[in-house]
C-alpha cells in the first residue's frame, strides 16, 4: 500500500470519527436539554414533535399517492393514443403517392376513404384515353398534357400509367421500365384499403370509446385518492388540540413559578 493511500485512508477515518463524535455530542446535548425540562415543557416538546411527524407523514403520503398514479394515467393515455391510430397505419407507397389504412396522400392532395370512393388502376394510355378521358382531365395539367401528347403517338399509346381517382382530385403517374409489377400491386392495395376503411373506422371508434372511458375512470380514481390524502393532511395540520393544551400548561406553569410582586410602597 502506498504512502498516499495510507494518508487518504487516515484522513477519511479522521473525518468519519469526527462526524460520529459531533453527532453523539449533539444527541447528548439534546437529551440533557430534554431531561432538564419540566413536565409541562416536555409535554409541549412531545406534542410539537408528534404534530410535526404527523404532518411530515401525511405530506409523504400525499406525494406518494400522486406519484403512484403517474404510471396508470400514462398507460391509459397511451392506450387512447393507440386507439386513435387504429386504421391509420402506413401500407406502402409508389412514387410520390403514400397509402395508409384510412387515407391516401398524393402530390395533388390527401383524401380520406370515409369521404368517398377511391379507385386505382394501371392501364395503357390508349385504354385510359378511351374509358377515362373525362376523369384524367382533372389530373395535373402538365401531366395530362404529356399524357395526351404520348397518346397521339403509336408507341406512346401503349405507355403504362397509374391512375388514382378520388372525388376531389386525380393523380396520374407515368410508369417507367420495370415499374408495372409494383404499380399493379400498389393499385390493388389502394383499392383494398378503400374497401376496408369502413371496418377500420368502426373498430377505431369502438376502441377510442373504450380507451376514453378507461382514462376517465383512472383520472377519477386518481382524483379521489389524491383528495383523500389531501384531506388527511389538512386534518392533521389543523389538529392542534394537544399542542394548544401543552402551550397553555407551559404558560400557566410559568405564571406559577414567577416570583410574587412586591407591594408598592405606601
**Chain centre distance of CA 155:** 58
pLDDT tens readout for residues 200-251: 778 888 999 999 999 999 999 999 999 999 999 999 999 999 889 989 988 8
Q: Can you spell out the DSSP letters for the chain?
A: --HHHHHHHHHHHHHHHHHHHHHHHHHHHHHHHHHTS-HHHHHHHHHHHHHHHHHHHHHHHHHHHHHHTHHHHHHHHHHHHHHHTTT--EEEEETTEEEESSEEEETTEEEEGGGS--EEEEEEHHHHHHHSHHHHTTS-HHHHHHHHHHHTSTTGGG-EEEEEE-SS-EEEEE--TT-HHHHHHHHHHHHHHHHHHHHHHHHHHHHHHHHHHHHHHHHHHHHHHHHHHHHHHHHHHH--HHHHHHHHHHHHHHHHHSPPPPPPP-
- The rounded distance, in Å, linking the Cα atoms of 248 and 239 is 16
Grid cell 395530362 — which residue? Answer: 144
The three cell numbers of residue 46 are: 412531545
What's the burial of 191, exposed, middle or buried (CB within 10 Å: 0-12/13-18/19+)?
A: middle
Angle between helices 180-238 and 39-68 (to 10 degrees): 160
pLDDT tens readout for residues 4-30: 777 777 777 787 777 776 666 666 566
The three cell numbers of residue 1 are: 500500500
**Could you tell me what percent of the chain has a pLDDT over 90?**
46
- The rounded distance, in Å, linking the Cα atoms of 102 and 203 is 12
pTM for the predicted model, two decimal places: 0.58
pLDDT tens readout for residues 142-157: 777 778 777 767 677 8
Grid cell 468519519 — which residue? Answer: 16
Average pLDDT, the chain: 86
Amino acid at each position: 500500500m502506498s504512502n498516499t493511500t495510507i494518508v487518504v485512508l487516515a484522513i477519511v477515518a479522521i473525518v468519519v470519527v469526527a462526524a460520529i463524535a459531533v453527532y453523539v455530542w449533539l444527541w447528548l446535548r439534546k437529551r440533557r436539554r430534554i431531561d432538564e425540562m419540566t413536565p409541562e415543557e416536555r409535554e409541549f416538546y412531545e406534542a410539537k414533535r408528534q404534530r410535526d411527524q404527523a404532518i411530515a407523514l401525511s405530506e409523504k403520503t400525499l406525494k406518494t399517492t400522486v406519484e403512484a398514479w403517474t404510471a396508470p394515467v400514462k398507460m391509459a393515455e397511451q392506450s387512447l393514443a393507440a386507439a386513435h391510430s387504429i386504421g391509420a397505419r402506413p401500407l406502402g407507397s409508389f412514387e410520390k403517392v403514400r397509402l395508409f389504412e384510412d387515407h391516401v396522400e398524393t402530390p395533388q392532395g390527401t383524401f380520406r376513404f370515409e369521404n368517398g370512393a377511391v379507385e386505382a388502376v394501371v392501364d395503357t394510355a390508349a385504354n385510359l384515353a378511351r374509358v377515362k378521358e373525362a376523369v384524367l382531365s382533372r389530373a395535373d395539367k402538365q401531366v395530362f398534357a404529356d399524357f395526351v401528347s404520348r397518346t397521339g403517338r403509336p408507341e406512346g399509346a401503349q405507355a403504362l400509367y397509374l391512375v388514382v381517382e378520388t372525388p376531389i382530385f386525380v393523380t396520374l403517374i407515368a410508369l417507367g421500365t420495370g415499374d408495372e409489377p409494383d404499380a399493379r400491386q400498389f393499385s390493388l392495395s389502394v383499392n383494398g384499403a378503400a374497401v376496408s376503411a369502413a371496418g377500420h373506422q368502426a373498430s377505431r371508434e369502438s376502441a377510442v370509446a373504450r380507451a376514453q372511458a378507461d382514462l376517465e375512470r383512472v383520472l377519477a380514481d386518481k382524483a379521489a385518492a389524491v383528495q383523500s390524502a389531501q384531506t388527511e393532511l389538512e386534518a392533521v395540520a389543523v389538529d392542534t388540540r394537544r399542542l394548544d393544551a401543552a402551550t397553555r400548561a407551559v404558560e400557566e406553569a410559568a405564571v406559577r413559578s414567577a416570583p410574587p410582586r412586591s407591594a408598592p410602597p405606601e
